Amino acid sequence: MSDRKKVAFVLGTRPEAIKLAPLFLKFLEHEDVVQPVMWVTGQHREMLNQVLDLFGISPDLDFELMKPGQKPIEVTCRVLESLDSVLEKEKPDLLIVQGDTTSVFAAALAAFYARIPVAHVEAGLRTYKKYSPFPEELNRQLCTRLTDFHLAPTENARLNLLEEGVSKDAIWVTGNTVIDALDFMIEHVRKNSPDMPEGFPLTQIEENRKLVLITGHRRENFGEGLESICNAIKSLAVKYSSCDFVYPVHLNPNVQEPVNRLLTGVGNIHLIEPLSYDAFVWAMDRSFLILTDSGGIQEEAPHLGKPVLVMRENTERSESIDSGTSKLVGVNQETIVREVSLLLDSSTEYQLMSHATNPFGDGTASDQIYGILTEQMVEK
Q: In this predicted structure, what is the pLDDT of residue 380?
A: 61
Res 344: pLDDT: 97
CA dist 143 and 354 (Å) reads 34
Q: What is the pLDDT of residues 234-282, one digit of tens each?
A: 999 999 999 999 999 988 889 999 999 999 999 999 999 999 999 999 9
Domain match, 105 and 54 both: yes
Domain membership of residue 185 (yes or no) is: no
Inform me whether the pLDDT recorded for 378 exceeds 80.
no
Round to whole Å and give the CA distance between 111 and 377: 16
Residue 180 lies in a domain: no
For 91, other C-beta atoms within 10 Å of its C-beta total 11
Q: How confident is the model at residue 215 (pLDDT cuts 50, 70, 90)?
A: very high
Q: Is 187 part of a structural domain of the chain?
A: no
Q: Are residues 326 and 373 in the same domain?
A: no
Amino acid at 66: M
Does residue 104 sit in the same domain as residue 213?
Answer: no
* Helix H or strand E encompassing 270: strand 269-272
Does the pLDDT of residue 225 top 60, yes or no?
A: yes
Q: What is the CATH number of the domain that holds 291?
A: 3.40.50.2000
Q: 257 with 163, same domain?
A: no
Instruction: State the total domains in the chain.
Output: 2
Q: What pLDDT does residue 349 have?
A: 95
On whether both 227 and 126 belong to a single domain, the answer is: no
Q: What is the pLDDT of residues 128-178, one digit of tens each?
A: 999 988 899 999 999 999 999 999 999 999 999 999 999 999 999 999 999
Peptide bond into 194 cis (omega under 30): no
Residue 9 pLDDT more than 90? yes
Q: Both 268 and 347 in a single domain?
A: yes
Contact of 61 with 39, CB cutoff 8 Å: yes
User: Catalytic amino acids?
Assistant: 100, 122, 136, 217, 219, 250
Give pLDDT tens digits for 284-342.
999 999 999 887 888 899 899 999 999 998 888 888 899 899 999 999 999 999 999 99
Q: Does 57 share its domain with 79?
A: yes
325 in a domain, yes or no? yes
Residues 255 and 369 in one domain: no
247 plus 171 within the same structural domain: no
| DSSP 8-state symbol, 70 | -
The answer to whether position 56 is within a domain reads: yes
Model pLDDT, residue 44: 64
Contacts of 46 (CB under 8 A, 6+ apart): none
Per-residue pLDDT reduced to its tens digit, 49-72: 889 999 999 999 999 887 777 788
Tell me what pLDDT residue 132 has.
Answer: 87
The pLDDT score that the predictor gives to residue 1 is 41
Query: What's residue 208's pLDDT?
Result: 87
Average pLDDT on 357-363 reads 88
Confidence of residue 379 (pLDDT cuts 50, 70, 90): confident
- The answer to the question of residue 184 being in a domain is no
For 309, the enclosing helix (H) or strand (E) is strand 308-310
Task: Work out the pLDDT band at 218, boundaries 50, 70, 90.
Answer: confident
**Rounded (10°) angle between helices 14-28 and 365-379:** 60
Both 237 and 138 in one domain: the answer is: no
Tens-digit pLDDT profile for residues 97-124: 999 999 999 999 999 999 999 999 999 9
Domain around 49: 5-175+364-379
Helix-then-strand count for the chain, H and E:
16, 13
